[in-house]
Amino acid sequence: MAQRIALHPILGVPEKGRPVKFTFDGKTLEGYEGEPIAVALKANGVMVHRYTKKGHQPRGIFCAIGRCTDCVMVVDGEPNIRTCITPLKEGMKVETQYGVSPLPFEEQGCPSGKKGDGDETV
Amino acid sequence: MNQVNDRSRDIGEFVPRPDDDMVICRCEEVTKGEIRKAVHEGMWTVTEVRRYLRTGMGLCQGQTCGKLVKGIIASELGIPQSELEPATSRVPMRPIEMKVFAKEAKEADGNG
Amino acid sequence: MKRYDLIVVGAGPSGLSAAVEAAKRGMRVVVFDENEKPGGQLFKQIHKFFGSKEHKARIRGFRIGQQLLKEASDVGVTVILSATVIGMYQDKELVVRIGDEIHHVKGDSILIATGASENMVPFEGWTLPGVIGAGAAQTMINLHGILPGKRVLMLGTGNVGLVVSFQLLQCGCEMAALVDAAPKIGGYGVHASKLARTGVPFYLSHTIKKVEGTDHVTGVTIAQVDSKYQFIPGTEKHFDVDTVCVAVGLSPMSQLLKMAGCKMVDDPKKGGQVPVCDERGQTSIPGVFAAGDVAGIEEASSAMIEGRMAGVAAAEYLGFMEEAACSREEDELTKDLDCLRQGMFAPKNKGKKIDKTEEGIPLSNTLLTKGYLADDEVEAFPGFTHRVGVHPVIECTQNIPCNPCQDVCPKECISIGDNLTALPVVVENAACIDCGMCVASCSGQAIFLVDEDKGDGTAEVTIPYEFLPLPEKGTEGYALGRDGRKLCPATVSRVRTAKAFDSTNLLSMRVPREFAMKARFFKSGNAADAAGEVAG
């Protein structure tokens, strides 16, 4: 589980919003209001934000500034939300994204991920 | 004529390499081998490879892979990277939902 | 459609600086930034900046950010946040997403100050959660107060890799190693030395072979590469880490300029695709300017000057100031900028092989490959002198434009002269009063106060210390050498903190006399337990 910094030698005590509850794949977790969703997830030990469409490979935080779009998840029912720059709000429903869906691949009818090779037709 | 436009130039056969499975375009999950193969199939520019394989056409619009894809194409063609045009830059520069893209703000002067 | 005299895209160091200059001259200025907070990367930079007073040297990046924001609000600059410019068209029209709407705005002049994006290098496992950009690490720790992991391996030894590694140490992460495919450390030697003396190893001519883990990083294997960057079999080394950080350079984020039709050029010395600009930052389209990293990768200090130059130039372009006044200001700013663009790390020297300082002293090879000065190499430099009584020992061995040490010493013990890149010299017969300002002000943490003989068989060494917990007076422990090895027992004799030191604490330790010129870091604990081991 990732550790929050209680006291920083240069920056002092990090400024945080009020504690709020949100759900991740149905589990209730706690984070601070206004911090990026990705940070709240990290503080709760969540590393995998999504599984890719073709290869079903796990992805998480990569650039943390909204550029790389690797950390996207389904938030309040909407897919492809960049969790590293989307502020956490009370009661948010955050779900792992499989392809572009919150449903695991088995439930989407594509159980095994094929690594993205051999796709020669366009 | 620069070397990219000289399509009669022989760049040899596609030779598989051990790292061909490595994903280069993280969004569209395009591998190094696919990009190298595309060059041998006649895609000699970043734009051609992009249309052919969708490299850089995913959510991030090539933020991460742009330079990498360019490097792979250049090395496959045996030319310096600077000879390749980077991919065309287009609106929108960041991921945006279509419903937002289509929603012009109403301005006082009506010239939104 | 709203119309402004100047539209700035990007509220980082260059964008804000330009907005300030333009607004000061009566222009109607708006700054758009896609982030929730202004300041660009400045608020993630917690180290003290290099340069001279004019460049805000020895001030920490985030404080410079605060100053700049205040300056902008004082002159009435409007900064619109969470405003993403998604396109730039002919006739200086911008399309901006604000909230859930699209706005079209027009500027009579436009400054693109969008900064840079991080380069990446692919390796087996690079898509696994736990592999992150160095910028991501910096964002997590300095903006959001969370550790990216417990144990980190850094790929890349440019200034970003070095500075972020130190920040990771400061907030409590362990650094397993710094790795670079290049044969030499790319960033400032002083930044590398801050890490090496705490015991962090450097592996040059090495790169990542494989990152291990099924759904997140559990380890990494590196291996040595030959001169053609091919792996040398049998040289693999494994590290148990949960985070791999990648810091392999930056690329200008110049897409908007390309989209608008500015003439572009691929310039490796500037980091990639950059607009062709005149000396004031104007692109091939009159009235469209570029400043900061988007026009060529450099430091934030130069970005701020470039921004000011572009702001002044935009004011002149639209008739808000006379050409003569503009020229005068531009000349001043050009001088400041030129000062920063000197020395061995100057953009013009990128890729050049340099093996001697300007003074003709051979560079330390150990510094370039392992991150520290070997005991026999450091003696050759002019800041390293032996004196009776307390005196500064300056382990600054590369020509970097920087002079706070000369500025802050009340007794003029340290001299750099007018040439900002000259190595600091300890002035003969000057009377050091042990105030510690030089130690606290050196942005490279390369100055130590040493009293080589306290008369009881010990010496006192004062080091800059920016970690927690801060040891108290009387704490027993051991001293580490420049190479991070445990040297000898040490006792903390004094700990000084002061507002003027700006969070750099001065820790003084007593060590046996023979280690006076070798002991450069302190760790608490029992020295006897692990004598001779590599610390950390």
**Who among C127, C136, C503 is closest to A64 (CB)?**
C136
A vs C, Cβ pairs < 8 A, gives 105
Q: Which residues of A touch B40 (CB under 8 A)?
A: none
Q: Which of A62, A81, A98, A119 to mutate to test the interface with B (most CBs of B within 10 A)?
A: A119
pLDDT of residue C1: 83
Mean pLDDT rounded to a whole number for chain A: 91
Residues of chain C positioned with their CB less than 8 A from the CB of A87:
36
A67–B52 CB contact, under 8 Å:
no
pLDDT at B1: 57
Percent residues over pLDDT 70 in chain C: 98
Could you tell me if B27 lies within 8 Å of chain A, comparing CB atoms? yes
Q: Environment class of residue C51 by beta-carbon count within 10 Å: exposed (0-12), middle (13-18) or buried (19+)?
A: buried
| Strand extents, DSSP E, A46-106 | 50-51, 58-59, 72-75, 78-82, 93-95, 97-98
The mean pLDDT of B91-101, rounded to a whole number, is 89
Rounded CA separation C77/C4 (Å): 12
A59 Cβ under 8 Å from any chain C Cβ: yes
Through-space distance between the first and last CA atoms of chain B, rounded to whole angstroms: 45
Q: Which of B23, B27, B52 sits opposite A122 (nearest CB)?
A: B52
Residue C495 has pLDDT above 50, yes or no: yes
Phi, psi torsion values for C131, nearest 5 degrees: -95, 120
Picking from A65, A68, A72, A73 by the largest number of B CB atoms within 10 A of its own CB, the best residue to mutate is A68
Rounded to whole angstroms, the Cα distance separating C525 from C329 reads 56
pLDDT, tens digit, 9 for 90 and up, residues C90-138: 899 999 999 999 999 999 999 999 999 999 999 999 999 999 999 999 9
Place of tokens 């050049």: C352
- Does C205 score more than 90 pLDDT? yes
Can you give the pLDDT at residue A103?
A: 96
Is residue C528 less than 8 Å (CB to CB) from chain B? no
Peptide bond just before C362 cis, omega within 30 deg: no
B111: pLDDT strictly greater than 60: no
Could you tell me if A54 lies within 8 Å of chain C, comparing CB atoms?
Answer: no
Residue A82 near chain C (CB below 8 Å): no
Q: Which residues pair with A24 in a beta bridge?
A: A27, A94
| DSSP H/E element including C300 | helix C300-317
**Shortest CA gap C128–chain B (Å):** 11
d(CA C534, CA C536): 7
pLDDT confidence of B93, banded at 50, 70, 90?
Answer: confident
Q: At what angle are helices C300-317 and C323-340 packed, to 10 degrees?
A: 170
Tell whether B110 is within 8 A of chain C (Cβ): no
Tell me the C-alpha to C-alpha distance, in Å, between residue C357 and each of C2, C344, C397. 54, 8, 8
- What's the CA gap between C174 and C153, in Å, rounded? 9
Question: Is residue A63 a contact partner of residue A82, using CB atoms and an 8 Å limit?
Answer: no
Query: In this complex, how many residue pairs, one in chain A and one in chain B, have their CB atoms less than 8 Å apart?
Result: 46
Would you say C377 and C366 are in contact if contact means Cβ atoms under 8 Å apart?
A: yes
CATH superfamily of B18-109: BFD-like [2Fe-2S]-binding domain (1.10.10.1100)
Taken as a whole, chain A contains a residue count of 122
Check A116 against B52: CB less than 8 A apart: no
pLDDT at residue number A116: 42
Residues 46 to 75 of B: which have CB under 8 A from any C CB? 63-65, 67-68
Asked if residues C505 and C464 have their Cβ atoms less than 8 Å apart, the reply is yes
Contact B80, B55 (CB under 8 A): no
Give the whole-angstrom CA distance, residue A82 versus residue A68. 9
Q: Which residue of C has its CA nearest to A3?
A: C147
- ipTM score of the complex? 0.93
Q: Is C321 helix (H, G, I), strand (E, B) or coil?
A: coil
Q: Which residues of A touch C172 (CB under 8 A)?
A: 3, 5
Res. C530: pLDDT tops 80: no
Question: What percentage of chain A has pLDDT greater than the value 90?
Answer: 86
Q: Which of C98, C101, C259 sits opposite B89 (nearest CB)?
A: C259
Interchain proximity A39–C144, CB inside 8 Å: yes
Scored b (16 or more CB within 10 A) or e, C477-500 reads bbbbbbbbbbbbbbbbbebbeeee
Sheet hosting strand C219-224, strand order edge to edge? C206-212, C219-224, C237-239
Q: C235: distance to nearest CA of chain A, Å?
A: 28
pLDDT in tens, C439-485: 999 999 999 999 999 999 999 999 999 999 999 999 999 999 999 99
The neighbours of chain C, by the rule of 3 or more Cβ pairs under 8 Å, are: A, B
Nearest to B103 among C2, C85, C101 (CB): C101
Say which residues have a Cβ less than 8 Å from residue C39's Cβ, sequence separation at least 6. C11, C12, C13, C16, C62, C65, C68, C69
Packing angle between helix B46-53 and helix B66-77, nearest 10 degrees? Answer: 110
Tokens (6 digits) for C2: 């709203």
The C-alpha atoms of residue C444 and residue C195 are separated, in whole angstroms, by 11
H helix or E strand, kind and range, residue B73: helix B66-77
User: Three-state DSSP class for C134?
Assistant: helix
- DSSP notation for C454-510: -SSSEEEEEEEE--SSPPPTT-EEEEE-TTSBEEEEEEEEEEE--GGGTT-EEEEEE
Q: What are phi and psi of C143, to 5 degrees?
A: -100, -35
Q: Which of C20, C116, C32, C34 is nearest to C64 (CA)?
A: C20
CA distance B103 to chain A (A): 18
Give A15's contacts (C-beta < 8 A, 6+ positions apart): none
- Parallel, antiparallel, or unpaired for β C174-180 and C476-480? unpaired
**C121 token code pair:** 């290098």
Look at residue C532 and tell me whether its pLDDT is greater than 70. no
C365 vs chain A: nearest CA distance in angstroms? 32
Token look-up 């004062």 returns C462
Mean pLDDT confidence for C403-423: 95
What pLDDT, in 10s, does the model give residues C242-255?
999 999 999 999 99
Which of C60, C127, C135 is facing A10, going by the closest CB pair?
Answer: C60
Give the closest-approach CA distance of A37 to chain B in angstroms: 18
Query: Cα(C164)–Cα(C156) distance, rounded to whole angstroms?
Result: 10
pTM, two decimals, is 0.95
**pLDDT for A117:** 41
Contact (CB, 8 A) for C289 and C111: yes
Residue with tokens 């006291």: A7
Mean residue pLDDT across chain C = 95
The answer to whether the CB atoms of C130 and A60 lie below 8 A apart is: yes
Q: Is B22 on the interface with A (CB under 8 A)?
A: no
pLDDT, mean of residues C284-312: 97
Q: Contact C146/A42, CB-based, under 8 Å?
A: yes
Question: Which value, to the nearest 10 degrees, does the dihedral of the CA atoms of residues C354, C359, C364, C365 take?
Answer: 30
- Would the CB atoms of B33 and A68 count as touching at under 8 Å? no
Compute the distance between CA of residue C326 and CA of residue C321 in angstroms, rounded to an integer: 7
Give me the residue from B81, B93, B103 closest to C102, CB to CB.
B103
pLDDT of residue B88: 85
**C235 versus A113: which is more confidently predicted?**
C235
DSSP type of residue C409: -
CA nearest to C502 within chain A: A10
What percentage of residues in chain A have a pLDDT greater than 70?
Answer: 89
Q: Where on the phi/psi map is residue B61: left (φ > 0), alpha (ψ -120 to 50), or beta?
A: left
Segment (H or E) for C170: helix C159-170
Q: Which residues pair with C87 in a beta bridge?
A: C95
What stretches of C171-228 show up as alpha helix (H) in DSSP?
189-196
Task: Identify the chains in contact with A, defined as 3+ C-beta pairs within 8 A.
Answer: B, C
φ and ψ at C42, to 5 degrees? -60, -35
Token pair listed for C477: 């422990």
Indicate if the pLDDT at residue B110 is higher than 80: no
DSSP state letters, C367-392? HHHHSS--HHHHTTSTT----SSEEE
Chain B residue with CA closest to C123: the answer is B22
In this predicted model, what pLDDT tens digit does every residue of A41-90 receive, in sequence order? 999 999 999 999 999 999 999 999 999 999 999 999 999 999 999 999 99
